[in-house]
Amino acid sequence: MSRIDTTFAALKQQGRKAFVAYIMAGDPDFERSSEILAGLPEAGVDIIELGLPFTDPMADGTVIQRAGQRALEAGQTLQRTLDMVRTFRQTNTTTPIVLMGYYNPIYSRGVETFLRDATDAGIDGLIIVDLPPEEDEELCIPAQNAGLNFIRLATPTTDDKRLPKVLQNTSGFVYYVSITGITGAAAAEATDVGPEVARIKAKTDLPVIVGFGIRTPEAAEKIASVSDGCVVGSAIVAEIAEGKPASEVLAFVRSLSDGAHRA
């Protein structure tokens, strides 16, 4: 079992939903990003999604686009992102970390080299938004063979014909994108999300986690109540963008995790 599998098994035994937090690696700089990363588990985060900054983040809204730009301007690279994870693992060996981003930096490094370095650093899973199931041989299958979960996105436009293809090599969990569009673009509604989650769960035993459009503890609770948990990204990144100290960012994260865990 991967760290992700172990985490979901423990949450199920406790009767709790998962809270997943996203931050951009290196935003606003390496030191402050590392401090926030280190504090996420204590703030109630069950799984960490760590964004890999990229120059052309086509699925992201302006909040996360700007975070990636800040990180790149501060000198963040794929190597420095792996170094952050390696440092995190010196004090935390249980909280799963999922690297979320785009294929280009991985392709540039070389798939075999990247997978070796990622597993050595302590990465548990990948969400690569611009690699469809038709390209599974490119990264998905090698990643699974290396012991990494490959997490796929399902969306409101993933119909019953497409869904089996999306699910066929997915592991860890399914990430359901609650809205049509980019990150941070609209608010997620539990009444819309619930039936879609049920539709996906009828086709897989994997947990279904809902992201996009969740900004408040109340929204986290509502979305988690109709799924296996929720992801918050843009709302956290916006707090970082305001220049707040790590302690205030983590207090906000704690409020969100408390909301999800009430579900």
Domain ranges of the chain: 3-262
Catalytic residue (choose from 46, 49, 196, 221) = 49
Distance CA 17, CA 230 (A): 8
pLDDT of the residue at 180: 60
> Do residues 172 and 206 lie in contact, with contact meaning Cβ atoms separated by under 8 Å?
yes
Distance CA 95, CA 89 (A): 9
- Specify whether 60 is catalytic: yes
- Specify whether 42 is catalytic: no
Distances (CA, A) of 249 to 72, 94, 144, 147: 21, 22, 33, 32
Catalytic residue (choose from 27, 60, 136, 221) = 60
Residue 190: pLDDT band (50, 70, 90) is confident
The answer to whether residue 218 scores a pLDDT higher than 80 is yes
> Do residues 86 and 79 lie in contact, with contact meaning Cβ atoms separated by under 8 Å?
no
Domain 3-262 in CATH 3.20.20.70: yes
pLDDT of the residue at 111: 98
pTM for the full predicted model: 0.96
The answer to whether residue 178 scores a pLDDT higher than 90 is no
The answer to whether residue 235 scores a pLDDT higher than 80 is yes
Token digits of residue 41:
């588990």
The H or E element spanning position 22 is: strand 18-24
| Interval 159-167 mean pLDDT | 96
Closest CA to 153 of 129, 137, 179: 129
Number of residues assigned to the chain: 263
The answer to whether residue 189 scores a pLDDT higher than 80 is no
Residue 145: pLDDT band (50, 70, 90) is very high
Distance CA 122, CA 246 (A): 23
> Do residues 193 and 157 lie in contact, with contact meaning Cβ atoms separated by under 8 Å?
no
Query: What's the mean per-residue pLDDT of the chain?
Result: 95
The answer to whether residue 224 scores a pLDDT higher than 80 is yes
